[in-house]
Amino acid sequence: METQEVSNGVLIDDEEELLLWKSQSESQPADHFHLAYLVYFILGIGFLTPWNSYITAVDYFTYLYPSVPVDRVFAVAYMSCCLVSLIIIITLAHNSSACLRINIGMGLFVLSLVITPVVDWVFVKGRQGVYFGYDITVGAVVISGLADALVQGGIIGSAGELPEIYMQAVCSGTAASGVLISILRIITKSIYPQDVDGLRKSANLYFAVSIVVMIMCIFCYNLGDRIPIVRHYKEIKRKAVKMEIDEKGFITLSTWRSTLWKIICRVKWFGFGIFMIYLVTLSIFPGYITEDVYSDYLKDWYPIILITAYNVFDLIGKVLPAVYPIDNENVAVGASVGRLLFFPLYLGCIHGPEFFRSEIPVTFLTCLLGLTNGYFTTVLLTLAPKSVPIQHSEMAGISIVLFLGLGLVGGSIVSWFWVI
């Protein structure tokens, strides 16, 4: 049946469902004080805060565990666990509550952030080479990966059921998370002496503030479900699901698998674009930026500044689609593939002429990496859930996160080739 596009960018492929959507959307409640937008923005900040917390504290972990490539190990552990968990969630999602998944995931995020300062206080105590503490820390990163699968898929899926502006809010929040965490890291590193004790205190303060942010996100998520505009679209989804069940009868496991396969086939090119974006980004950031370049002038501030630059431009990129959107799927996917050019450019920053190995070219490329990552991620994440009927928007969003996870895992593995 031919797909028809209606208001707020939602695509409907059934005439009865189209009439239902139009009647409901005409009476859409106002988002007073932009409360729903703010909630989704904060949730976007929340589900990337733990990951950003671990990778931005690179100077702290590198000091404690000097003989291991910390950021690369963290990336593989986090992304692999997240990917496996996403596959399980997609398989069982029709029998699980998104609200329950997200609340459990948020709780696991808090647990993972608590582990690091506790390990330092009980075992490590600021000493180098206590690799038992390193093993526990990697375990905490794995817990974060599991929590990410539970939270990110659910939030992006939920935003996919709403008008496009709310997906943009989530994406902007993820970028803002990186910026806020980077600024926090700079502040905490600056207010303490530049010695071992100061490094330890700044890192512990840094994780404490991150824990507070996550607790705030738990509150916001449970508030968000009560906002009229969110309830409005959940009711539209509920009626669309009821219509589908009335038409098809009881949805069995085999029916669900067939529907899931159709959803994945519909969003596969959006997913491929997302996969390429994060394959390129994670193969360079953070491993290359924190371990393969060095500045005699900036010393251990150099990776922190580069990470901050990346996060600032990632935020700019994720805000831009609200002003300059791309509605053409082919253009967005093609540009995502074009980011492969970053590989030879960054390779030149290691083995090229002396000027290319200086701070200015590396910083410029890092800013461009963040800008393109943010812009094309937001474009594709916004388009994908709107390409299916509203009752399948959540699953389309989760499916796209699966492609994102594949890209993250692939990128974190490819990042080891810089070492080779």
Per-residue pLDDT tens over the stretch 2-32? 344 444 444 444 555 545 544 555 577 888 8
Instruction: Report which of residues 151 and 286 the model is more confident about.
Output: 151
Q: Collect all residues with Cβ–Cβ distance below 8 Å to 398 and sequence separation of at least 6.
A: 86, 89, 90, 93, 153, 154, 156, 157
Using the structure block, give the residue that is written with the tokens 């992304």.
Answer: 79
Say how far residue 338 (Cα) sits from the centre of its chain. 21
Phi (first) and psi of residue 199, to 5 degrees:
-60, -40
Cis peptide before 286 (omega within 30 of 0): yes
Task: Tell me which residue of 138, 142, 140, 154 sits closest to 86, measured CA to CA.
Answer: 154
Q: What is the mean pLDDT of residues 171-180?
A: 90
Contacts of 66 (CB under 8 A, 6+ apart): 128, 129
Fold classification of 41-223+254-418 is Growth Hormone; Chain: A; (1.20.1250)
pLDDT score for 346: 87
- Show the tokens assigned to 146: 């599991």
Residue 203: band (very low, low, confident or very high) from pLDDT cuts 50, 70, 90: confident
Alpha-carbon span 366 to 303, nearest angstrom: 11
Query: Backbone phi, then psi, for 29, in 5-degree steps?
Result: -65, 150
Asked if 146 contacts 87 with a C-beta cutoff of 8 angstroms, the reply is no
Sign of the CA dihedral 167, 171, 174, 176? negative
DSSP-assigned letters across all residues of 277-288 = HHHHHHHHTTHH
Q: Which two tokens stand for residue 105?
A: 């995931």
210-259: per-residue pLDDT in tens? 899 899 999 999 988 889 999 988 888 888 877 777 676 656 666 777 88
Q: Which tokens go with 357?
A: 């190995």
Structure confidence at residue 388 (pLDDT): 87
pLDDT of 381 higher than 90 = yes
For residue 4, the surrounding DSSP H or E stretch is: strand 4-5
At 298 the pLDDT is 77
pLDDT at 8: 44
β-partners of residue 16 are: none
* pLDDT tens-digit series, residues 118-149: 998 888 888 888 889 999 999 999 999 999 99
What are 287-330's pLDDT values in tens digits? 676 666 777 777 778 888 888 899 899 999 999 998 988 989 99
What's the pLDDT score for residue 62?
86
pLDDT for 419: 56
